[in-house]
Amino acid sequence: MFQFLLRRIGLIIPTFIGVTIAAFAFIRVLPGDPVELMAGERGVSPERHAALMKQFGYDRPIWEQYLDYFFSALQGDLGNSLVTKKPVWDEFFTLFPATLELSICAIIFAVFIGVPAGIYAATRRGSWPDQAIMGTALVGYSMPIFWWGLLLIILFSGTLGWTPVSGRISLLYFFKPVTGFMLIDSLLSGQKGAFSSAVSHLILPTIVLGTIPLAVVARQTRSAMLEVLSEDYVRTARAKGMSPMRVVGVHALRNAMIPVITTIGLQVGVLLAGAILTETIFSWPGIGKWMVDSIFRRDYPSVQGGLLMIAVIVMTVNLIVDLLYGLVNPRIRHVR
């Protein structure tokens, strides 16, 4: 196991270096001129333009800029945002809890509905509830979530007026962030109604972001269950007269959970991509929206830093999933 761990971590180092090169290179070839953009319709003189390029360090040789970037990044210095002039690292971690909170809620939503639905469908294979569940899951899986979000806003916020339109909590409540998670902070603040306000703000974004993972989890659970249910030991258990509930609940579920957990781990990338759209629609102050804004504003250091941080998160989660997988399923360690 230890060797497997070492080998797996060894693989991550070249990938990490590759990712820094990629994040750096992408941004350096972006067309458009940050100085022009800052000046807007007003424009800048060629002299001032040159001076500003120098001030931002865009006039040095590219490899020098890269090495500088790489070693600063290792120390957690991702440069300063061109727009707010604040460190990108700080900006990222100010906004990250919002995305994390939303993602966790979306995953919980997906798992708590998706797993039971998948199990139920598997045990009733071929019946109309199975077909209905799988049909719905496929619709969810095919959903353009940016459109889905708009529809939900029209219906629940516009027509019915049940949920707030956007934001993380009603503005009536004001407290200093402690954890950055609105659900927890609202409880810690002790203000009456703050928590339920935070919850009501979370509902629609959670549904929108959770829709695709929900569909994937339901489908994956069903097929994993079907596979396990057809295994010999389950048939034996069944033949021995074990109650169906017990068969499903004890034997099948435990084994079927391995691929399901992997699937959930692999949804992190999907979630972060979905966060871009969800946060844009709901004005959710997280990193997805921040990335889109930064791309449009040509805020080079922010896009660079954001790309790098997001890639590192995805890599880390993948590593953890792999390690867990290796832990529960020893065969993996030898195959690789």
- Residue 117 makes contact with another protein by CB under 8 A: no
Question: Could you give the CA distance from residue 44 to residue 56 in angstroms, rounded to a whole number?
Answer: 15
DSSP 56: T
CB 133 within 8 A of CB 120: yes
Selected binder of another protein within 34, 259, 265, 326 (CB under 8 A): 34
CB 166 within 8 A of CB 284: yes
Rounded to a whole number of angstroms, the minimum distance from the CB of residue 242 to another protein is 21
Residues numbered 230 to 259 that lie near another protein (CB under 8 A) are 230
What are the residues whose beta carbons fall under 8 Å from the beta carbon of 173, sequence distance 6 or more? 186, 189, 191, 193, 194, 197
Question: Could you give the CA distance from residue 96 to residue 284 in angstroms, rounded to a whole number?
Answer: 11
What are the residues whose beta carbons fall under 8 Å from the beta carbon of 162, sequence distance 6 or more? 156
- Residue 295 makes contact with another protein by CB under 8 A: yes
Residues numbered 205 to 234 that lie near another protein (CB under 8 A) are 223, 226-227, 230
Tokens of 194: 């703050």
Rounded to a whole number of angstroms, the minimum distance from the CB of residue 154 to another protein is 6
Selected binder of another protein within 72, 84, 243, 329 (CB under 8 A): 84
Rounded to a whole number of angstroms, the minimum distance from the CB of residue 248 to another protein is 16
- Residue 276 makes contact with another protein by CB under 8 A: yes
Rounded to a whole number of angstroms, the minimum distance from the CB of residue 60 to another protein is 15
Question: Could you give the CA distance from residue 41 to residue 37 in angstroms, rounded to a whole number?
Answer: 9
Selected binder of another protein within 160, 171, 239, 245 (CB under 8 A): 171
- Residue 100 makes contact with another protein by CB under 8 A: no
Selected binder of another protein within 107, 247, 281, 309 (CB under 8 A): 281
Selected binder of another protein within 4, 5, 8, 22 (CB under 8 A): 22
Residues numbered 130 to 159 that lie near another protein (CB under 8 A) are 135, 138-139, 141-144, 146-148, 150-151, 153-154, 157-158
Placement of tokens 């940050």 in the chain: 34
Selected binder of another protein within 242, 280, 321, 332 (CB under 8 A): 280
Our CB check for another protein shows the closer of 40 and 61 to be 40
Our CB check for another protein shows the closer of 192 and 240 to be 192
Closest Cα partner for 79 from 255, 274, 307? 307
Selected binder of another protein within 172, 232, 241, 331 (CB under 8 A): 172
CB 23 within 8 A of CB 72: no
Rounded to a whole number of angstroms, the minimum distance from the CB of residue 62 to another protein is 15
Tokens of 30: 């972006």
CB 216 within 8 A of CB 139: no
- Residue 91 makes contact with another protein by CB under 8 A: yes
Residues numbered 43 to 82 that lie near another protein (CB under 8 A) are 43-45, 48, 52, 55-56, 80, 82
- Residue 165 makes contact with another protein by CB under 8 A: yes
Helical spans, DSSP H, in the chain: 2-29, 34-39, 46-55, 62-74, 88-123, 128-141, 145-152, 182-189, 194-229, 232-239, 244-246, 253-282, 287-297, 300-328, 331-335
The residue type found at 19 is V
- Residue 99 makes contact with another protein by CB under 8 A: no
- Residue 311 makes contact with another protein by CB under 8 A: yes
- Cβ count within 10 A of residue 194: 22
Rounded to a whole number of angstroms, the minimum distance from the CB of residue 2 to another protein is 22
Please work out the total of residues on this chain that contact another protein, with binding judged by CB under 8 A: 105
